[in-house]
Amino acid sequence: MNKETILTGIRSNDTPHLGNYLGAIQPMIQSAIKYSKTHCINMFVPDLHSFTTPTEYDSLFDRTLQNIKLYVACGLPIEHENVNIYRQSYVPAHSEMAWILGCFTGFGEANRMVEFKDKSSQLGDDRVSVGLFNYPILMASDILLYDAKWIPVGEDQRQHLELTRTLAQRLNNQFGEIFTVPNDTKSQQKFIDRDSSLRIMSLKHPDKKMSKSINDPAGTILLNDIPSDAAKKVMAATTDSVGVINLDWENQPGISNLLCISALLSEKPIEEVAKAMTGKTNYGELKSIVAGQVEEFLTNLQTKMKNLDDSKILGHLEAGEKSMNIIANKKLLQIQKAIGLRK
């Protein structure tokens, strides 16, 4: 029987932040460790997605390699035969498949994507590209090429995952069982042991998610921040005037965000962490705990990054890309035949 595939990626438009780690990298690594004997683990860098919003082109290549190194430093077991690391643009079938899928996507359907609306409103009309509009379709291609069933992504990607499911079902209905339909969001969360979709908020603006492409240095903990600077950002986090600690996302988003970060970094259930702090009136105590956890986490991570053997990682990367091209081209050929491009 074929192994089920778990897949995720972080684009390399900018340095990843704590939200990326807690929302995408940490659950993926936990799954990789738990399931690498029984599942295929595809952890890639969607480098073609990286310039759907403005980025520095000169350093894109290096940032992509940095992301791969980050996965390894965070504990991805790349030695395991079922674990695959690769760069999207090194597997050209992604782009080809995206074009085909795009021709089966309604304009109105794509136009409903909230992430596009959010990002385009931040960018201003002259900087919004067709690439940004189309990217959920490229993401569908990233998933469907590998028959991936499990996609541990953050809450912001939920709608894109739904679009992927719709496209897979649509093409299967028309052409026969070509694609594996990824599981729905609810079962995805259960699979990665997360009750609700996770969204780490900005420390400065707790009503907005921590984001790579938004300029919010005081609200964002970058994974390459100097650990003591990151701790200072936590100490200066925006809270509220309630004066008592509660896990209450609606009325106390800043405090709830800190409780959430603390729970995930200590790998404890949020209810447990919240219970220990609920009713306390000293916000500074909670901030100090989280600041200490963040500082320790970054110090360890950055030490591991420094000690990696780059040539070994490159070897794994190239091997991953070779085998991914074989798998992806096979799937591409199936759809090319179905729609009349190949005999």
Sites of contact with ligand ATP (CB under 6 A): 10-11, 13, 19-20, 22-24, 53, 153-154, 156-157, 198-200, 209-213
Least gap, CB of 307 to ligand ATP (angstroms): 25
Give strand pairing partners of 144.
none
149 is an active site residue: no
Identified catalytic residue from 34, 37, 69, 119? 119
Identified catalytic residue from 69, 149, 209, 287? 209
Select 301 or 332, whichever has its Cβ closest to ligand ATP. Answer: 301
CB of 50 within 8 A of CB of 13? Answer: yes
Select 138 or 335, whichever has its Cβ closest to ligand ATP. Answer: 138
What single DSSP character describes residue 6? Answer: E
Q: Which two tokens stand for residue 151?
A: 């996609």
Question: Which residue has the closest beta carbon to ligand ATP?
Answer: 23
3-state secondary structure 209-223: ECCCCCCCCCCCCEC
Select 215 or 241, whichever has its Cβ closest to ligand ATP. Answer: 215
212 is an active site residue: yes
Separation of alpha carbons 309 and 332, rounded Å? 34
Provide CB contacts within 8 A for 125, sequence distance 6+. Answer: none
Least gap, CB of 277 to ligand ATP (angstroms): 21
Using CA atoms, how far residue 340 sits from 40, 93, 172, 343, in Å, is: 31, 17, 15, 7
Least gap, CB of 142 to ligand ATP (angstroms): 12
Give the rounded distance of the alpha carbon of 94 from its chain centre. Answer: 18
Least gap, CB of 205 to ligand ATP (angstroms): 12
Give strand pairing partners of 150.
6
> Amino acid letter at 129?
S
What single DSSP character describes residue 202? Answer: P
Select 4 or 156, whichever has its Cβ closest to ligand ATP. Answer: 156
Identified catalytic residue from 69, 149, 212, 233? 212
Select 36 or 202, whichever has its Cβ closest to ligand ATP. Answer: 202
119 is an active site residue: yes
Sign of the dihedral through C-alpha 180, 335, 68, 228: negative
Using CA atoms, how far residue 24 sits from 21, 51, 196, in Å, is: 6, 20, 13
Least gap, CB of 266 to ligand ATP (angstroms): 17
Residue carrying structure tokens 């409903």: 112
Q: Which residues are catalytic?
A: 119, 209, 212
